[in-house]
Amino acid sequence: MGKNEFEKKMQIKRTRSKLANNLDKLESDKQKFVERAKTAYQKGDKHSYSLARSGLATTLTQLNRTREMLLNIDITTQMRDTGTVTEEFLTGMETIFRQLSKVNKSTNIKSARDVLRKAIAGMEGVQEQLDDMLMESEDNFASLSGSNVSDAEIDGLLGLSAAVEEEEEIGAQLEELKKQKEEEEKAAEAKAAPAAVASVAAEAPKVYKLTPEPAPVAPLKAAAPAASARQSSPAQQKPLPPEKKALDLKLNDRFEFEFPPLELLDDYLVDAAVREANERELEEDAAEAEKVLAELGVPAKVVNRVVGPAFSRLEMAMPVGMSVQKIDPLVSDIAMRLGKQARFEVPIPGKNAFGIEVPNVRRDVIGLKEMVGSEAFTESHGDVNYCLAVNIDRSPVIKDLAKAPHMMIAGSTGSGKSCFLHSVITSLMYKYTPSRLKLAIIDFKRVEMAVYNGTPYLLTDKVVDNDEDALELFNIVCDEMERRYDLLVQMGCRNIGEYNDKCEPSEKLPFIAVFVDEYADISTSPLSKEFDAVIRKLSQKARASGIHLVLATQRPSTDVISGTIKNNFPVQIAFKVARKEDSRTTLAGQAGAESLLGNGDMLYNEPSGGGLKRMQAPFVSTDELRRVADWVITHSTKI
């Protein structure tokens, strides 16, 4: 066996192993959806039943496709093996023919002919085996024909076929009874009409009913035992009730509200000793950087030093007549000679210099209180203003979600991604009332966002933590978007801001911000196609209706963040990621997030085209979150 043939066999073996593992997982998912659908059917929850049935259909389709692929691999392997045996028989027959052409004695000829007959018989056996195998494969493929799954198959899995047939039979009987009743009414009307006319002629002042009361309807005897049978069998329940909403929406709730005081947040003071140590270290780095660049043939000079909370920056100017492009090939050498996890900014936007960013010896903590209490935040005017981060000089950066409508956030575990989501949500609570802003929060981790349960800002009665409720929530938000567009058309407005300016205070529409912590769970859900369709629609159309999306994931790969969705998220934020490819996926093809320090160190891709900006996200502790949430719950009254 040649090397290439061996590699092909090993590749086929590995592929088959993966398909077999996937088949086992799909079988497990099938059982889960069957149990979920049966439970929902018994409870009369039509919405959950519909979602589980949809997931079951998707899983069964994937099962059929996987089985087809496995069957195809098995048939290909058997045919290759059979072909090898056939080649061996043919080679033996050629040898025998050569022997027959050389021998003269009859005994040898007879012996060779016997061997030849056996070889031909063997060839016929191999051909029969191959024919049987192909016929069997055709039968197997016929049993798996197509990827679509019929409703009858799903009903059979759920044990609902008998109930459906019984309901159809009862429906036919009721229809027949209805026709019989109509015929009796017509006959009674025809019989009573002449007598009624005569009575009216005799006594004109009196008024008579021309149509008699309908004849009593005989009870349907066959329906009673069937109904009791349905109640006694768990697989045959009563017909499903009308569709109901599983989520309790609070879109139009209005509140008397008192904003939380700033004292609920903790102070994180700047340590002067830490700042002095960082300045001394940066001064040494500046001298070393000039020395290293000179040795590499680039005599650049440090023109400014900026000490930040987590990292510091050396601003260096190139000699006159020397291109800054010479720095790019030397980046790795400079970082290695400095002995630090350096990041280069070539050039610095708006300056005639390039930057070398180096981590501080000791880091300062930027608390959320510092940003919420800043003049930049308190004096800001916008529809959905929130605290983003601080620049390297500790100046706060405040952004309006309404101007850059959707935000994509990525970062590995421990990079500060979830803490950043908390700081955004908490800063919104310090800026807007629950009547002005509604939050829809989806937390597949189930524990990260639970602190907001019970707050009046929630669009639902609680934080959503499963894929079925999450899909329902997205569909409800999508329906609300369409309803708002109808209102905008009626009022002749282009966006929600113009609409709220024209209508009465009680009729103003609140802004809606949808937060999703761990978007990767959506892409692996059996309902991923439904999620993808509704999220794509919202990301393309929801801006003018005052609905904004904030999606966060720790797995920013292309199979999680599709290009269509990413293109509709102008705000892209990357915390520390594991690979350069993850940074490029998140930041529209730009690397750099793999060199970040973690703990809130982030890159912000300016939607206006200003390039990447490195910032430090604020920190907010769990105790602070609880204090703010408790205040919001206890100091809001529904009106």
Residues 362-393: tens digit of each pLDDT: 888 899 999 999 999 999 988 999 999 999 98
Name the percent of the chain lying above pLDDT 90.
28
Residues 612, 597 within the same domain: yes
Residues 147, 167 within the same domain: no
pLDDT for residue 519 is more than 70: yes
Q: Give the integer Cα–Cα distance in Å for 126 and 5.
A: 22
73 occurs within a structural domain: yes
Q: Give the integer Cα–Cα distance in Å for 345 and 305.
A: 14
pLDDT at site 208: 35
Question: Within 10 Å of residue 302's Cβ, how many Cβ atoms?
Answer: 19
Residues 587, 491 within the same domain: yes
Q: Give the integer Cα–Cα distance in Å for 168 and 162.
A: 10
Residues 200, 100 within the same domain: no
Q: Give the integer Cα–Cα distance in Å for 296 and 115.
A: 81
Residues 311, 388 within the same domain: no
500 occurs within a structural domain: yes
Residues 279, 221 within the same domain: no
Amino acid, single-letter form, for residue 263: E
Band of residue 586 on the pLDDT scale cut at 50, 70, 90: confident
**pTM for the whole thing?**
0.63
**Residue 201: what are its φ and ψ, rounded to 5°?**
-65, -35
- Residue whose pair of structure tokens reads 């801006």 in the numeric block: 543
pLDDT for residue 215 is more than 60: no
Residues 126, 29 within the same domain: yes
Question: Within 10 Å of residue 485's Cβ, how many Cβ atoms?
Answer: 14
pLDDT for residue 235 is more than 80: no
**Residue 355: what are its φ and ψ, rounded to 5°?**
-120, 145
Residues 553, 589 within the same domain: yes
What is the number of structural domains in the chain?
A: 4
pLDDT for residue 3 is more than 60: no
195 occurs within a structural domain: yes
Specify the range with the lowest mean pLDDT, choosing from 152-156, 231-235, 258-262. Answer: 231-235
Q: CA nearest 222: which of 257, 267, 291, 172?
A: 172
Handedness of CA 432, 437, 438, 441 (dihedral sign): negative
pLDDT at site 217: 40
Q: CA nearest 496: which of 560, 401, 591, 412?
A: 401
Residues 565, 603 within the same domain: yes
More confident residue, 636 or 223: 636
pLDDT at site 210: 35
More confident residue, 462 or 563: 462
Among candidate residues 232, 262, 285, the one where a domain is terminated:
232
Q: Give the integer Cα–Cα distance in Å for 366 and 268.
A: 7
For residue 579, give the 3-state DSSP assignment: coil
| Six token digits for residue 152 | 């009858």
Q: CA nearest 424: which of 381, 463, 377?
A: 377
239 occurs within a structural domain: no
Amino acid, single-letter form, for residue 535: I
Q: Give the integer Cα–Cα distance in Å for 583 and 200.
A: 92
Express each pLDDT in 453-472 by its tens digit.
999 999 988 899 888 899 99
Question: Within 10 Å of residue 375's Cβ, how many Cβ atoms?
Answer: 8
User: Which residues are bridge partners to 311 per DSSP?
Assistant: 359
- Range of the structural domain that residue 174 is part of: 161-232
pLDDT for residue 305 is more than 80: yes
| Six token digits for residue 353 | 């210099």
| Six token digits for residue 398 | 């405040």
pLDDT at site 566: 76
Question: Within 10 Å of residue 200's Cβ, how many Cβ atoms?
Answer: 13
Q: How far are the Cα atoms of 142, 333, 463, 552 from residue 521, in angstroms, in the given order?
A: 35, 40, 16, 11
pLDDT for residue 451 is more than 90: yes
Radius of gyration of the chain (CA): 37
For residue 415, give the 3-state DSSP assignment: coil
Residue 324 per-residue DSSP state: G
Residues 351, 388 within the same domain: no
pLDDT at site 5: 66
If you write DSSP's letter for every residue of 130-178 in order, what string do you get?
HHHHHHHHHHHHHHT-SS---HHHHHHHHT-HHHHHHHHHHHHHHHHHH
SS3 content of the chain, % helix, strand, coil (to 5): 55, 15, 35
Angle (nearest 5°) at CA 434 between 429 and 440: 80
> Residues 111-131: what's their mean pLDDT?
63
> Residues 234-263: what's their mean pLDDT?
65
Among candidate residues 208, 232, 256, the one where a domain is terminated:
232
If you write DSSP's letter for every residue of 360-429 in order, what string do you get?
-SSPPP-BHHHHHTSHHHHT---SSEEEEEE-TT--EEEEETTTS--EEEE--TTSSHHHHHHHHHHHHH
| Six token digits for residue 233 | 């069998």
| Six token digits for residue 537 | 């629609």
Q: Give the integer Cα–Cα distance in Å for 444 and 516.
A: 8
Helix or strand (DSSP H, E) at 62: helix 46-102
> Residues 295-310: what's their mean pLDDT?
90
Band of residue 152 on the pLDDT scale cut at 50, 70, 90: low
User: Which residues are bridge partners to 601 per DSSP?
Assistant: 616
pLDDT at site 176: 72
Amino acid, single-letter form, for residue 595: S
pLDDT for residue 425 is more than 90: yes
Specify the range with the lowest mean pLDDT, choosing from 232-236, 480-484, 585-589, 632-636. Answer: 232-236
Residues 98, 171 within the same domain: no
421 occurs within a structural domain: yes
> Residues 392-398: what's their mean pLDDT?
92
102 occurs within a structural domain: yes
Angle at which helix 161-202 crosses helix 151-158, to 10 degrees, equals: 100
Specify the range with the lowest mean pLDDT, choosing from 44-48, 278-282, 301-305. Answer: 44-48
Q: Give the integer Cα–Cα distance in Å for 400 and 410.
A: 20
pLDDT at site 122: 64
For residue 238, give the 3-state DSSP assignment: coil
211 occurs within a structural domain: yes
Express each pLDDT in 5-55 by its tens digit.
666 777 777 777 777 777 777 787 778 778 887 877 777 777 677 777 777
Contact 311, 614 (CB under 8 A): yes
Q: How far are the Cα atoms of 64, 191, 552, 584 from residue 419, in angstroms, in the given order?
A: 43, 83, 11, 23
For residue 440, give the 3-state DSSP assignment: strand
Q: Give the integer Cα–Cα distance in Å for 234 and 39.
A: 9
Among candidate residues 124, 158, 192, the one where a domain is terminated:
158
36 occurs within a structural domain: yes
Mean pLDDT of the chain: 78
Q: How far are the Cα atoms of 221, 265, 500 from residue 599, in angstroms, in the given order?
A: 73, 19, 39
pLDDT at site 173: 63
Express each pLDDT in 598-627 by its tens digit.
889 999 987 776 678 999 999 999 999 999
Express each pLDDT in 62-105 by its tens digit.
878 788 787 777 777 776 666 666 666 666 666 666 665 555 44
Residues 175, 133 within the same domain: no
